[in-house]
Amino acid sequence: MAVSQIVKNNIAGQIRLIDGSLPTPLEYVCAFERGDFAFSGGKEVLNNPVAIERRGKFVNALHGGRVYPSFTFSAWASSFQDDGAEPGNIATWVLRSAGGAYEAAVSTFGPGSRVPFAFHVEYTMSGLDYNDGADHTFQLGDCEITDFSFTEAEDGNTFQLSGIVRGPITGDLPMSEVP
């Protein structure tokens, strides 16, 4: 794909959450997200470099422990629960609320109540709308929620969602750990 000549802004993005249900994953397209998605902590190899020394002198460097990038975004709060029908809402995705549209969501780590709920986060930046030839997409694999909060405000109540990335990062922004 050629380099785009148009810088995009928050109007051009979309966030999609994808669970581990097989053969067809459940998905939630964040209908009311505010356009403030942020991803940080990425690097060429998702492992920290470790300096190897001999008697206080640098010998070489190797890849060490895995690093876990993070992401955050917020969404306007239209309700706390949904009626069990898709498209549901962000709160019932995160909490997998009884009777909610995503009660049956399965962790990308596999099924079971003792397995942390993990899911994939896919970010798409529109390119087709700007004559780029294709949209620009990356997926954060096996994400776990680290914080989910609600804020009341005069200009609109919001949910904030933050998480860490346990799996690979694929698509147009690929990153993975040392094999």
Reported as a single tens digit per residue, the pLDDT across 27-80 is: 999 988 999 999 999 999 999 999 999 999 999 999 999 999 999 999 999 889
Are 102 and 137 within one domain? yes
Structural domain containing residue 53: 43-68
CA distance 16 to 18: 7
Are 7 and 92 within one domain? yes
Are 58 and 105 within one domain? no
The answer to whether residues 9 and 32 touch, using CB atoms and an 8 Å cutoff, is no
Are 97 and 57 within one domain? no
Are 1 and 60 within one domain? no
Rg (CA), the chain: 19
Q: Could you tell me if residue 168 is inside a domain?
A: no
pLDDT band at 3 (very low <50, low <70, confident <90, very high): confident
The answer to whether residues 39 and 123 touch, using CB atoms and an 8 Å cutoff, is yes
Q: Could you tell me if residue 179 is inside a domain?
A: no
Q: Cis before residue 23, ω within 30 degrees of 0?
A: yes
Q: Could you tell me if residue 30 is inside a domain?
A: yes
Are 94 and 135 within one domain? yes
